C-alpha cells in the first residue's frame, strides 16, 4: 500500500539526483569539447 511511500520517496529522489548529475557531467564534457574544437 501507501505506508512505505515515505521510505520510497527519498530513494527515488536520490536516484534521480544521481542520474541528473551524471547527465550534467556528460553534457558539460561534450560542451567543453565543442568549445575546444571551435577556434
- Going from the C-alpha of 3 to that of each of 8, 10, 17, 24, the distances in angstroms are 10, 14, 24, 34
Distance (Å, whole) CA 24 – CA 34: 15
Per-residue pLDDT of the chain (39 residues; tens, 9 = 90+): 567 667 788 889 999 999 999 999 999 999 999 999 987
pLDDT at 1: 57
The reported pLDDT for the residue numbered 30 is: 96
Amino acid at each position: 500500500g501507501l505506508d512505505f511511500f515515505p521510505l520510497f520517496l527519498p530513494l527515488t529522489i536520490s536516484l534521480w539526483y544521481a542520474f541528473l548529475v551524471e547527465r550534467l557531467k556528460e553534457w558539460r564534457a561534450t560542451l567543453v569539447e565543442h568549445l575546444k574544437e571551435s577556434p
